[in-house]
Structure 1
Amino acid sequence: MTETLISLISILLGIIGAILMGFTFKKYSFGLVGNTISGVFGSIFFIKFFGRLGFSPTFIVENSTFNVSLLILNCIVSFFGGVLGLLLIKIIDFKMNKKAAN
């Protein structure tokens, strides 16, 4: 697996996390397209932000070896990054609509 493939898998897991969150909790949903976009950005943000701790795709395939435990950690962070990305966008949407109503 290359770093690019690991990054794409991470983004896919972020999308799945956001879509599942929107499907499970309807009040947090922005529809399929909105959930997908928030999952992509949430996943990318969390992997870039927390990946510096040592589980970014670069560290997973470092020195031509493959570290499975770092890949699992990367996948978990990507999934929850998509979920938290959707929550953050919903909070921003709520605050903006609240100010517009006043």
Structure 2
Amino acid sequence: MTGTLISLISIVIGIISANIFGKFYENYTFGFKGNTLIGVFGSVLLIKTFGRLGFDPWSIMNDGDFDAFRLAINLLVSALGGVLGLLLAKKIYLKLNK
């Protein structure tokens, strides 16, 4: 597994988590396209921020070794980023449309 593949999997996890959260909580949805975009950006933002602590894809593939614990943390943070991105976008949307 390469760092690029891990990055792509993280982004897909963010997309899936944002769409599933939007499906279960109808108040926070922006439709499929909106949830997908927010999932991508929320996931990337949180992964980039959290990756500075050593959970970025290239740290997971440290010199050819594979660290499953770091991958699990990376995927969990990616899913959390998709959900938090959706919550933040809805909060901003409601503030601007008051």
User: Normalising by structure 1, what TM-score?
Assistant: 0.95
Residue number in structure 2 paired with 1:49: 49
Matched, 1:21 2:21: yes
Secondary structure at the counterpart of residue 54 of structure 1: helix
Deviation at 1:24?
A: 0.5
- Alignment partners' CA distance in 2, 1:44 and 1:88: 14
Matches within 5 A, 1:6-85: 6-85=6-85
Return structure 1 stretches of 4+ with deviation > 4 angstroms. none
> Aligned residue for 2:92?
92
Question: Aligned partners of 1:5, 1:84: CA distance in 2, in Å?
Answer: 23
What does the per-residue CA deviation read over 1:8-55, in whole Å, with 9 as the maximum and x for residues that have no partner? Answer: 000000001100110000010000000000000000000000111111
The aligned amino acid for 1:27 is N
RMSD of aligned alpha carbons:
0.4
Unaligned stretches of 5+ residues in structure 1: none
Count of residue pairs the alignment pairs up = 98
User: How far is the alpha carbon of 1:57 from its aligned partner?
Assistant: 0.2
Identity %: 55
Q: Which runs of 5+ in 2 are unaligned?
A: none
